[in-house]
Amino acid sequence: MIDMMKTSRRSFLKSATVVGGALLLEFALPTLGPALGGPAGRAQAAAATTGINSFIRIEPDGAVTMTVGQAEMGQGVYSGFAQILADELGAEWSRVSVVSAAPHPDHNNPWLDMQMTGGSMSIRAHYDVLRKAAATAREMLVHAAAEAWGISPDGLSTEAGFVVDAAGDRRFGFGEIAAAAARMAPPAEPRLKDPADFTLIGRRIDRPDLPAKVEGRAVFGVDVTVPGMAYAAVRNAPVKGAAVGSVDRASIDGMPGVIDVVEVPGGIAVVADRWWRAKQAVDALAVTFAETPHDGATTAALMDSLRAAFEASDAALAEEDGDAEAALADATTFVEADYDAPLLAHATMEPMNCTASVGNGSCEVWAPNQSPVSVTAAAAEVAGLEPSQVTVHTTFLGGGFGRRFEPDFVAQAVAASKAVGRPVKLIWTREEDIQHDFYRPAAVARFRAGLDADGNILAWTTRISAPSVMQHVFPGAIENGVDPSNVEGAVELRYAFPARRVDYVMGKTHLDIGFWRSVGHSHNGFFTEGFLDEVAAAAQADPYQFRRRLLAHDARALKVLDAAAEKGDWGAPLPQGRGRGIAFHESFGSLVAQVAEVSIEDGDVRVHRVACAIDCGMAVNPDSIEAQMESAIVYGLTAALRGEITLEEGKVQQSNFHDYELLRMDEMPVVETVIIEGGPPIGGIGEPGTPPIAAAVANAIFAVTGTRIRSLPIRKQNLEV
């Protein structure tokens, strides 16, 4: 993790100014290296041309506003950022608010050199940055108060929005001295609070964005209204990459409200005075799409092509420790199994949408997105403008999960607005959303393990094949033929394997492939922990105790594993027909273990309870951590039980929630979360709860039925007790 305390004042604080009596501080966040190329690199270049954004603003009335470059999509980033800033600053919690930042390098994720929200990085990448920014503001306020009182700043403190002189029994409100503070010389190295003095960090605090959401006042992308706005509905090409062949505009002549038919990137759109009219018209529009080389693509062919990698002689080496092949030759017991996982859609609650206004040499965009700089770059390209002529407003996101990193829907809205010369709100139907996603790639893995006569692992090998996510987004991240996102969760395992080898073969598909909640960990967590259970069975060992042996050297991991086992009542008697399964996985800097309790009812799986233990380093807000574990578990459980995107004739077959089913409320298990404070560095919470759940459930099914689940979704299995 970057050490913010080594960042110079010149590179960190850009300016302190007075605007309308307010103290306005601007900070330039440090970065760890160059961009990784591809669309992300182009987006970074676009961001460099836009205007400056403030980071902290203290108003004359004492209200504190922070500008945040991370998107709020339900994960609680606004609340977490505000909690850190308010604690270090000494602000009154109820007077702190958060606004979304426009694209600018000052709001880049300091680990990626790009303004984006993903990888469970928001808090862990910005924690030190936020504290130092708040400490800088605090010391400037303290020095301004000391100067006004004519005393030394030593001994002064801040609390609840006041600078306090306890010895003199007096105080200044932040707003009273905001203007004076702006004239103070900022400290080169502000003193950070002792964590023992935290009053907000670590507490369960209500999220400030929730009341507006509960009351319907929050503005999501679909809520945006612009004067003179028209609406657009889109029909994307049924096979990815197919060009528009012919359009018979006369086929919708006379339909009410229709303004225009516009070819947009990826398909065709109808613009109308109301969205429902636009949708009815685009459904009725006679349009053909050209043939593509992928018109015969099927799921079966895709999976066969991935499995062919098991026999490939040119696999790329992802990780090697010791001589695994030699160790396997010495094994008394040999275990081998193949695993697979399907394509998955994101299925966000809010379908893709964007409002765009192009005209008079400018473009303005309102969009729920995870990468405003990518939005800027896409909008500028379609509008034929410079990035500096594009203004992006990031709304609340009705779910992201990686899907809203991609700006394809933004490009369509901009094209529609440019064509009709007025603002256009474009909204995808659920069918378009599911059939034209950037899918979690299908993946396969072959495992081999060798045991000695005492049931100890001598060697462990894995071969993985999946289409590449990074090839599209961050091609510079691919090294020696290995996409790190495809092997994460299979390499750098905490288990003590004397010899191991992981290799990789890049798969291919014509579909768009993208980030999906927990990315490669989502399938590798299932693969690795499922196979480890098989090895434990071959060793005739209890699955929990077998993992304990492999983690005996790792006190931190053991604590998490033990906490989940204890909370999940591992080893305690269960009612007839129920079983428990356990899984452990590390991702995004956090360690998670889960115990699932399941039964089989009429051939279907019922998950009754999940005990989850997480060590994310430090709990900024325990309530948010619990909420994210529950969210990640239901997301991963839905995928494990039912999630599958299939192809026939090059087309995605699923279209809505009747055939891409989500877990229902009455099917949700009880989730009990144990939070373990493991100390620095801070880990993520948005994604780490997803990878273990499929394996925990699959392992529990084995405990009940004796059937191994090696292929997802589980609903495809014929299960009997």
**pLDDT tens sequence across 368-395:** 999 999 999 999 999 999 999 999 999 9
Hey, what are 40's tokens? 């992300």
Given strand 604-615, what is the order of strands in its sheet? 578-587, 590-601, 604-615, 670-676
Q: What is the DSSP string of 495-531?
A: S--SSEEEEEEEE--SS-B---TTTHHHHHHHHHHHH
Break the chain down into helix, strand, coil percent, rounded to 5.
35, 25, 40
pLDDT digits (tens, 9 = 90+) for 582-625: 999 999 999 999 999 999 988 899 999 999 999 999 999 999 99
Q: CB under 8 Å to 384, separation ≥6 — which residues?
A: 418
User: Which of 182, 192, 165, 284 lies closest to 233, judged by CA?
Assistant: 284
Helix (H) or strand (E) holding 435: helix 430-435
Q: What residue ranges define each of the domains in the chain, with the CATH number in brackets?
A: 4-214 (3.30.365.10), 221-292+352-427 (3.30.365.10), 300-343+439-716 (3.30.365.10)
Residue 35, pLDDT score:
37
Confidence of residue 580 (pLDDT cuts 50, 70, 90): very high
Band (720; pLDDT cuts 50, 70, 90): confident
What DSSP line would sit under 629-690, residue for residue?
HHHHHHHHHHHHHT--B-EETTEE---STTTS----GGGPPEEEEEEE---SSP---SSTTS
Number of residues that make up the chain = 721
Backbone angles phi, psi at 252, to 5 degrees: -120, 15
What the block records as the tokens of 121 is 């990085």
% pLDDT > 70, the chain: 94
Q: How many DSSP H helices and E strands does the chain contain? A: 19, 28
pLDDT at residue 27 in the model:
65
Rounded to two decimals, the pTM is: 0.93
Tens-place pLDDT, residues 653-667: 999 999 999 999 999
Alpha carbon 546 to its chain's center? 32
Residue 3 is predicted with a pLDDT of: 31
Please give the pLDDT value at position 479. Answer: 96
**CA–CA dist 494, 79 (Å, integer):** 32
Within the chain, what is the greatest distance between any pair of CA atoms?
83
| Average pLDDT taken over every residue of the chain | 92
- pLDDT at res. 334: 97
Question: Is residue 453 scored above 80 in pLDDT?
Answer: yes
What residues contact residue 251 under an 8 Å CB cut-off, 6+ apart? 284, 285, 286
The pLDDT, as a whole number, for residue 377 is: 96
What is the pLDDT averaged over residues 309-315? Answer: 95
In which band, very low, low, confident or very high, does the pLDDT at 28 lie, cut at 50, 70 and 90? Answer: low
CA pseudo-torsion sign 118, 121, 125, 126: positive
Average pLDDT over residues 489-510: 98
Section 557-581 average pLDDT: 97
Give the torsion through C-alpha atoms of 377, 378, 380, 381, to 10 deg.
Answer: 110
Q: What is the pLDDT of residue 117?
A: 94
CA 185, 189, 195, 196 dihedral sign is negative
Half-sphere exposure of 535 (CA within 13 A, CB side): 31
